[in-house]
């Protein structure tokens, strides 16, 4: 039995017992051999296709630990949605939207994205001025807030009663109780869930997202709440996979929110989804939920009050202790993990407390639960990640002091909390597993080389050193590679199939023109993708 393909290059295996190699042989989509070129040649014949990648470096296929592919595909379709991110004020956002509407006059609804929450808050009348007869909705860059015109509020039932039910922290109102058109968190997701996507459009969005991730070097991703932007997501995935065009292995959490009254029933429903939809390229592996929101929206849940709003500590989503204990216990019984959006330190602590109590009942059943984002973390909670085997899902690309966001952080949470945000090294030193994410399209910054660079330097490649945030939280290059490969596979319980280049594993590989472990770090940050390989097939090349 001979190899179907032979890949030659500088191979980084991420296997500690055999860290480097010269060749990878592939047969039937799996790794047939990893080692010296000389031995690899003996496993080939005249039918073996040889792909010589020269001095380029072959890595295990990189993996994204938290993103939103359906939303990504829609966002990347510039004809379908209006991107207002080039604007720098509410007035500029409206001007960009007006131009988009003028170019697409026949739409029944207008959806856009990319506005930033600033000191001046948006109101519906500003959007009414450019379109009053059709629903208009603009999402913030972080995806947690939305700006609606009056017609959109009418269509989606956002009136005084609804505003009162949601509360002023998530549905802003005028003095008479009328919604202003500016909402955050749960009302946003309630409205997005009502926006229906037909199967063909959904498949197109997934394929667009797939091409994007392949073009960045990713071979597998985690869909953090597949129903977040589309209730029929499982059917869309099934259609995409059935057509044979979707090969971006996607692991997903099914959404359970804070209003769920039957946690056990909701988890049981996910087992039904698993039985119906799980396949090679799409697997539902557990639950996704939200504990809070985001600092820039004043919706992250903090232990101490916001500096600019005395007495106010943020928005609590699924943080009820008894519900969380039930969720972690039920998920463990059904062999699932729980993946939670946790930005504020109180949101993080609530989940760790619940996991600790649930563990006493379940025996920790190797869930590999995950807390994602981890912007504000108390030092005395970090060791608990290791003790409870909780994945710390972090975003190195968020760590630099962003010129737009950092001053806002300082204003909202104070300089000390802003300076110490987004720890990474502390998790690793405590013995916890770290996995990297971008949260695309919530965050538009997607770059594997710059992820490596920011993990090591705590600032972007080529940026001002003054942008460095808490330099003591840097990690090594090898730890950064682990956060993009083997640790993500471990989180998904796929370490026997993915994450390293070893015999018998799936032949997913990513090739860059630099060695991330040994080349000059400044060059690493600017390195280029050569190709992305899935199941031994090149699915993207420059």
Q: Cα 455 vs. chain centroid, distance in angstroms?
A: 17
* Cα three-residue angle 223-227-232, rounded to 5 degrees: 115
d(CA 477, CA 240): 36
Per-residue pLDDT, 330: 96
Cα(429)–Cα(419) distance, rounded to whole angstroms?
20
- The whole-angstrom separation of Cα 69 and Cα 451 is 19
Residue 455 in contact with residue 507, Cβ under 8 Å? no
C-alpha distance from residue 518 to each of 15, 37, 514 (Å): 17, 21, 9
Task: Tell me how far apart the alpha carbons of residues 259 and 289 are, in angstroms, rounded to a whole number.
Answer: 11
Kindly give the interhelix angle for 477-484 and 448-457, rounded to the nearest 10 degrees.
140
Of 86-95, 300-309, 332-341, the poorest mean pLDDT is in 86-95
Output the six-digit token pair for 272.
């039904």
Strand partners, 391: 370
Contact 234, 250 (CB under 8 A): no
Contacts of 435 (CB under 8 A, 6+ apart): 65, 370, 391, 392, 393, 394, 483, 487, 488, 491
Plot region of 373 (φ>0 → left; ψ -120 to 50 → alpha; else → beta)? left
Tell me the CB-side half-sphere exposure of residue 473, using CA atoms within 13 A.
Answer: 26
393 confidence band (pLDDT: 50, 70, 90): very high
- What is the reported pLDDT for 293? 94
Work out the pLDDT band at 74, boundaries 50, 70, 90.
Answer: confident
Separation CA 274–CA 346 (nearest Å): 32
Q: Which helix (H) or strand (E) holds 175?
A: none
Contact 113, 83 (CB under 8 A): yes
The answer on pLDDT for 186 being more than 90 is no
pLDDT(313) > 70: yes
Rounded percentage of the chain residues whose pLDDT exceeds 70: 99
At 465-490, the pLDDT tens digits run: 999 999 899 999 999 999 999 999 99
pLDDT top residue among 64 and 144: 64
Mean pLDDT, rounded, of the chain:
94
Q: How far is CA 525 from CA 56, 246, 504, 511, 528, in A?
A: 15, 30, 32, 15, 9
Residue among 513, 521, 478 at smallest CA distance from 13: 478
pTM attached to this predicted model: 0.93
256 closest CA partner among 237, 228, 236: 228
pLDDT at 364: 67
Pick from 114-123, 286-295, 353-362, 460-469: least confident: 114-123
Q: Give the residue among 392, 391, 323, 317 at the shortest CA–CA distance from 357.
A: 323
| pLDDT over 90 at 283, yes or no | yes
At residue 234, the pLDDT reads 96
Query: Above 80 in pLDDT, residue 117?
Result: no
The sign of the dihedral angle between the CA atoms of 142, 145, 150, 151 is positive
With 80 as the cut, is the pLDDT of residue 78 above it? no
Which residue from 417, 414, 374 is spatially nearest to 393, judged by alpha carbons?
374
Q: What is the largest CA-CA distance in the chain?
A: 80
For residue 70, the number of C-alpha atoms closer than 13 Å in the C-beta half-sphere is: 28
Query: What's the CA gap between 370 and 188, in Å, rounded?
Result: 24
Residue 215 contacts residue 207 (beta carbons within 8 Å):
no
Does residue 195 have a pLDDT over 90?
A: no
Give me the residues paired with residue 393 across strands: 372, 435
What confidence tier does 120 reach under pLDDT thresholds 50, 70, 90? low
pLDDT in tens, 420-455: 999 999 999 999 999 999 999 988 889 999 999 999
pLDDT of residue 508 exceeding 80: yes
List, in sequence order, every residue forming a beta bridge with 14; answer none if it has no partner: none
Q: Choose the weakest-confidence range: 393-397, 441-445, 513-517, 525-529.
A: 441-445
Q: How many residues does the chain have?
A: 542
Residue 360, CB-side half-sphere exposure with 13 Å CA sphere:
7
The reply to whether omega before 441 is within 30° of 0 (cis) is yes
Q: What are the helix (H) ranges across 365-506? A: 379-387, 406-413, 415-419, 425-430, 448-457, 477-484, 486-491
Residue 516: C-alpha distances to residues 57, 123, 513 (Å)? 8, 47, 9
Q: How far is CA 263 from CA 115, 330, 372, 455, in A?
A: 35, 8, 21, 37
Contact of 323 with 291, CB cutoff 8 Å: no
Pick from 464, 449, 454: which is nearest to 424 by CA?
454
For residue range 129-157, list pLDDT tens digits in order. 999 999 999 998 888 899 999 999 999 99
Q: Which helix (H) or strand (E) element contains residue 320?
A: none
Q: What share of the chain is helix, strand, coil (3-state, %, to 5)?
A: 35, 25, 40
State how far the Cα of 368 lies from the Cα of 362, in Å rounded to an integer: 13
Q: How confident is the model at residue 229 (pLDDT cuts 50, 70, 90)?
A: confident
Q: What is the pLDDT of residue 119?
A: 61
């Amino acid at each position: 039995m001979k190899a179907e393909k032979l890949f030659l290059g500088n191979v980084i295996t991420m296997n500690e017992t055999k860290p480097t190699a010269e060749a990878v042989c592939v047969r039937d989509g799996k790794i047939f051999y990893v080692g010296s070129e000389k031995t690899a040649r003996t496993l080939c014949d005249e039918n073996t296709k040889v792909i010589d990648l020269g001095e380029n470096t072959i890595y295990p296929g990189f993996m994204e630990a938290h993103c939103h592919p359906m939303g990504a595909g829609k966002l990347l379709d510039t004809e379908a949605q209006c991107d207002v991110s080039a604007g720098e004020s509410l007035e500029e956002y409206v001007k960009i939207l007006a131009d988009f509407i003028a170019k697409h006059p026949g739409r029944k609804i207008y959806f856009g994205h990319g506005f930033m929450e600033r000191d001046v808050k948006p109101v519906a009348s500003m959007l009414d001025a450019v379109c009053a007869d059709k629903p208009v909705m603009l999402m913030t860059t972080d995806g947690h807030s939305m700006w609606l015109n009056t017609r959109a509020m009418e269509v989606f039932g956002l009136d005084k009663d609804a505003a009162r039910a949601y509360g002023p922290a998530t549905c802003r109102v005028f003095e008479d109780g009328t919604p202003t058109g500016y909402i955050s968190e749960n009302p946003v997701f309630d409205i997005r869930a009502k926006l229906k996507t037909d199967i063909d459009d959904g498949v197109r969005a997934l394929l667009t997202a797939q091409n994007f991730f392949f073009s960045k070097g990713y071979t597998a991703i985690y869909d953090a709440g597949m129903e977040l932007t589309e209730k029929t997501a499982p059917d869309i995935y099934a259609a995409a996979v059935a057509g044979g065009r979707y090969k971006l292995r996607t692991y997903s959490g099914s959404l359970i929110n804070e209003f769920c009254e039957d946690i056990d029933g909701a988890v049981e429903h996910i087992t039904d989804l698993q039985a119906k939809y799980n396949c090679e390229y799409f697997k539902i592996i557990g639950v996704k939920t939200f504990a809070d929101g985001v600092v820039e929206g004043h919706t992250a849940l903090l232990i101490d009050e916001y500096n600019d709003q005395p007495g106010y500590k943020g928005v609590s989503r699924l943080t009820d202790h008894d519900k969380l204990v039930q969720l972690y216990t039920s998920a463990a019984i059904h062999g699932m993990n729980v993946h939670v959006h946790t930005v504020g330190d109180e949101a993080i602590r609530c989940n760790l407390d619940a996991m600790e109590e649930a563990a006493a009942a379940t025996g920790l059943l190797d869930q590999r639960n995950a807390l994602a984002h981890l912007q504000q973390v108390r030092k005395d909670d970090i060791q608990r990640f290791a003790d409870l085997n909780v994945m710390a899902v972090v975003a190195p690309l968020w760590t630099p002091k962003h010129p737009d966001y950092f001053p806002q952080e300082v204003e909202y949470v104070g300089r000390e909390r802003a300076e110490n945000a987004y720890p990474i090294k502390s998790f690793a030193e405590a013995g916890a597993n770290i996995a990297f994410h971008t949260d695309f399209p919530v965050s538009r910054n997607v770059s594997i080389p710059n992820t490596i660079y920011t993990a090591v330097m705590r600032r972007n490649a080529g940026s001002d050193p003054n942008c460095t945030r808490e330099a003591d939280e840097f990690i090594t290059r090898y730890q950064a590679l682990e956060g993009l490969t083997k640790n993500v596979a471990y989180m998904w319980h796929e370490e026997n199939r993915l994450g390293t280049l070893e015999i018998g594993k799936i032949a997913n590989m990513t090739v860059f023109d630099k060695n991330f472990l040994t080349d000059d770090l400044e060059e690493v940050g600017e390195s280029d993708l050569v190709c992305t390989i899935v199941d031994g097939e090149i699915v993207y090349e420059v």
